[in-house]
Chains A and B, each alone.
Chain A
Amino acid sequence: MPAGTLYRGREGMWSWVAHRVTGVLIFFFLFVHVLDTALVRVSPEAYDTVVATYKTPIVALLEYGLVAAILFHALNGLRVIAVDFWVKGARYQKQMLWTVVALWLVLMIGAIYPVLGHAARELFGS
């Protein structure tokens, strides 16, 4: 039995909202990121000074958030493609979303040490 034809609420709408919010956040970061990388054309010192802020514990936390946004947008984007191009995509959109969420959780747990490890060492000593 196909589900109801209304799309409001539930997994379909909230994944769309999350896709939108993460997309906008990533775009704004990308803009800043191209600007900071452009400093390699100014001088090695200018670039290294700005990159040093990326290594502080607070910005490390923001980087973890960036990884979270990118991984969700990437995995859910593949789900959107499956919904659009796979014949059974629309029927399995919910199952695919929960697969996306599960994969995202596993990857986010895996990213804790590599992304936040250096910040923890700086805060609590090695």
Chain B
Amino acid sequence: MSTTDTTASGIGPVEGDSLYSVDNPAPVIEPPRKRTKKTPKSTRGNFELAAWLFMRLSGVVLVVLVIGHLLIQLVLDGGVSKIGFAFVAGRWASPFWQVWDLAMLWLAMLHGGNGLRTVINDYAERPNTRLWLKGLLYTATVFTILLGTLVIFTFDPNIR
């Protein structure tokens, strides 16, 4: 489509100038499924809205938690070379880092789990495929969160 094309659809060429301006505004189109007084109450609740908001809120917190984690584990004090059981024991001796890692585990797993749920919703079309992929995803997510939580709470520096 050339940039000089004008169509009646009201959609301008991709990334081109709009057909409308302040002096020539686009016609208002009524939402086809606008809710009225007669529309029955939605029975689905606001789960998708909550999930959308959670992705943004957890995302901001994760930027701080994960980049801090990367700095400590991969950059500062010799990078990855210093990591070992003794290093983990030293860090988890402090409740601060236990809470840090616990928060990072829960937020990252729920953020990633919801992200993959969206990906499955987008690409898996057959109901059976969706069911199995989501079942696998939820199982792996719950298992990983519980395992990680257990490890942080029951860590024993004197294990032999």
Give the complex CA separation of A71 and B80 in angstroms.
18
Q: Which residues in chain B, 128-159, are within 8 Å of chain A measured between CB atoms?
A: 140, 144, 147-148, 150-151, 154-156, 159
- The answer to whether A27 and B84 have CB atoms under 8 Å apart is no
Q: Which residues in chain A, 56-96, are within 8 Å of chain B measured between CB atoms?
A: 60, 63, 67, 70-71, 74, 77-78, 80-81, 84-85
Q: How many A-B residue pairs have CB under 8 A?
A: 127
Interface size class of B (residues with CB under 8 A): 35 or more
- The answer to whether A4 and B14 have CB atoms under 8 Å apart is yes
Interface size class of A (residues with CB under 8 A): 35 or more
Of chain B, the residue at the smallest CB distance from A117 is B79
Of chain A, the residue at the smallest CB distance from B79 is A114
Sample of 9 A–B contacts (CB below 8 Å): A20-B119, A38-B148, A40-B85, A63-B80, A74-B66, A77-B59, A78-B63, A84-B56, A118-B80
Interface residues of chain B, those whose CB is within 8 Å of chain A, are 11-18, 21, 56, 59-60, 62-63, 66-67, 70, 74-75, 78-81, 83-86, 88, 105, 108-109, 112-113, 115-116, 119, 140, 144, 147-148, 150-151, 154-156, 159-160
